[in-house]
Amino acid sequence: MSNLAEFFAMGGHGPYVWTAYGLTGAVLILLFLTPILGRRRLVQAEARRRRREET
């Protein structure tokens, strides 16, 4: 357990290292959410259009 705590402490540099990695992770998630959500919206819009034309 102390090994794990040591790993997270990073010899006192933990806050710097984890902030840097956390921010980068957040940016990567955001970068991929944009096209995924955009695509979902476009697919839904197309489905709505089809339903309108059928009725």
Partner 1 sequence: MSWTFFHKLGSPKWFYEISGKLLPWVAAFSLLALVIGIVWGLVFAPEDYQQGNSFRIIYIHVPAAILAQSCYMMLAVAGVVGLVWRMKLADVALQCAAPIGAWMTLVALFTGSIWGKPTWGTYWEWDARLTSMLILLFLYFGIIALRMAISNRDTAAKATAVMAIVGVINIPIIKYSVDWWNTLHQPATFTITEKPAMPPEMWLPLLVMVLAFYGLFTLNLLMRMRLEVLRREHKTRWARAALESNT
Closest CA to 8 of 16, 29, 40, 32: 16
Asked if 47 is part of the footprint of partner 1 (rule: CB under 8 A), the reply reads: yes
- Asked if 8 and 18 touch (Cβ cutoff 8 Å), the reply is yes
SS3 at position 22: helix
Nearer to partner 1 among residue 5 and residue 32 (C-beta): 32
Min dist CB 16 to partner 1, Å, is: 5
Give the footprint of partner 1 on this chain (CB under 8 A).
7, 10-14, 16-17, 19-21, 23-24, 27-28, 30-32, 34-36, 38-39, 42-43, 46-47, 50
